[in-house]
Amino acid sequence: MTREKDDKLAAINVGRPSITVRHAGLERVGNGRFKSLCPSCGKGVLPVRRDPATLELLAEDSCLLCSQRFSYSDLGGPSSKGHAPPRRS
């Protein structure tokens, strides 16, 4: 991955509508359980945001490279409060 290619992707999706995805179905980055590869640009990372007061996983996120916004259908909200994504084997 070259710097020039990354620069062309930077913030290309600012202002576009949020895409609903399942966090459990995304490809993980590194050894973590939460950071995922952006399905929109294929190079950026979705870090999974947390509520600063409760540390609860939030349903809204955005790619650190292309700025595409995502809404996780399986995180956040009253039906999944306190539940983390399943451990990967």
Average pLDDT over residues 56-65: 93
Task: Identify whether 50 is part of a domain.
Answer: yes
Q: Residue 13's pLDDT is what? A: 76
Q: How confident is the model at residue 83 (pLDDT cuts 50, 70, 90)?
A: very low
With respect to residue 73, please indicate whether it lies within any of the assigned structural domains: yes
Mean local confidence (pLDDT), 38-60: 92
Number of domains in the chain: 1
Question: 5: pLDDT confidence band, cut at 50, 70 and 90?
Answer: low
**Which residues span the domain enclosing 13?**
1-78
Kindly state the DSSP code that residue 6 receives in the 8-state scheme: H
Decide if 83 is inside a domain.
no
Does a structural domain hold residue 84?
no
- pLDDT averaged over every residue in the chain: 81
Q: What is the pTM of this model?
A: 0.71
